[in-house]
């Protein structure tokens, strides 16, 4: 695959799959705008990518919960590279884990402070919604582009404690992805959601069962995303694609 002359925005790009996507995209000739809230780590990642990639990376400090910062990231992409061809919404995480909620002190869903769940819904759902609203202005003008949302097997399964996460991911997997695809069709814009099962971005993921008996390597998820974004994946649109080792197919046996 060749992304020479193409520009992508990646959120959550200072770590995990957001970073891995940026590394791959630049290695394949593309330019990438890396968005994250961690300035020091982000700048280091940008330097490392630019030291060996074929394309170019720039870093933009961006809290996806802030629409003005989202628009600034969009504008930086256009000013630096002239287009936005791929938008990948990687930023996210389960609020009770990311906010380090003490489960002994807050044992059940109604006991968790609501601002914890607000954070989760804002990052996991409103963030991609904000980016879609912002970048679609540019994609509409250029009459091309793809938005790739990142769902989760949890959006299918639910979670009786960390409810913000499956609620947000289900919104991405079905409502937002299909709606963007419907709107974008007249402008040559696609939208696809990629929904992983357990991925070895954290050790605990190895404990989640799949029919294949293992969790995914992060590169396996990125390979699918790159295919969808490439010239080879142009007929994929408006779909939620599960890449979960058969966990969803196994149902309650998992």
User: Which two structure tokens, joined as six digits, stand for 50?
Assistant: 């630019």
Residue 58, classed as helix, strand or coil, is strand
- Pick the catalytic residue from 130, 165, 183, 187: 165
C-alpha 94/C-alpha 20 separation (Å) is: 20
Full strand arrangement of the beta sheet holding 31-36? 57-61, 31-36, 7-11, 86-89, 145-150, 189-196, 240-243
Residue 132 Ramachandran class (φ > 0 left, ψ -120 to 50 alpha, else beta): alpha
Of 242, 238, 228, residue with least CA distance to 191: 238
What is the phi/psi pair of residue 195, to 5°? -120, 100
Of 140, 131, 88, 96, residue with least CA distance to 116: 96
Q: Is 165 a catalytic residue?
A: yes
User: Which two structure tokens, joined as six digits, stand for 93?
Assistant: 């995480």
Report the catalytic residues.
165
């Amino acid at each position: 695959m060749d992304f020479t002359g193409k520009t992508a925005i990646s959120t959550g790009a200072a770590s995990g799959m957001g970073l891995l996507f940026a590394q791959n995209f630049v290695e394949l000739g593309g330019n990438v705008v890396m968005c994250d809230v961690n300035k020091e780590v982000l700048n280091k990642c940008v330097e490392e990518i630019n030291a060996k990639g074929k394309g170019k990376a720039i870093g933009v400090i961006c809290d996806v919960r802030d629409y003005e910062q989202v628009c600034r990231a969009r504008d930086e992409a256009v000013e630096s590279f002239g287009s936005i061809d791929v938008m990948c919404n990687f930023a996210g995480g389960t609020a009770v884990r990311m906010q380090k909620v003490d489960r002994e002190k807050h044992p059940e869903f109604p006991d968790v402070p609501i601002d914890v769940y607000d954070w989760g819904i804002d990052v996991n759902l409103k963030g991609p919604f904000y980016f879609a609203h912002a970048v679609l202005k540019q994609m509409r003008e250029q009459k091309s582009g793809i938005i790739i949302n990142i769902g989760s097997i949890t959006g299918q399964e639910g979670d009786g404690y960390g409810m913000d996460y499956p609620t947000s991911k289900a919104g991405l997997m079905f409502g937002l992805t299909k709606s963007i695809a419907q709107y974008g069709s007249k402008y040559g814009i696609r939208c696809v959601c990629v929904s992983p099962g357990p991925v070895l971005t954290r050790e605990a993921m190895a404990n989640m069962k799949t029919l294949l008996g293992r969790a995914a390597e992060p590169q396996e998820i990125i390979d699918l995303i790159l295919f969808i974004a490439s010239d080879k994946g142009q007929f994929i649109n408006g779909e939620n694609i599960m890449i979960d080792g058969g966990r969803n197919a196994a149902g309650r046996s998992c």
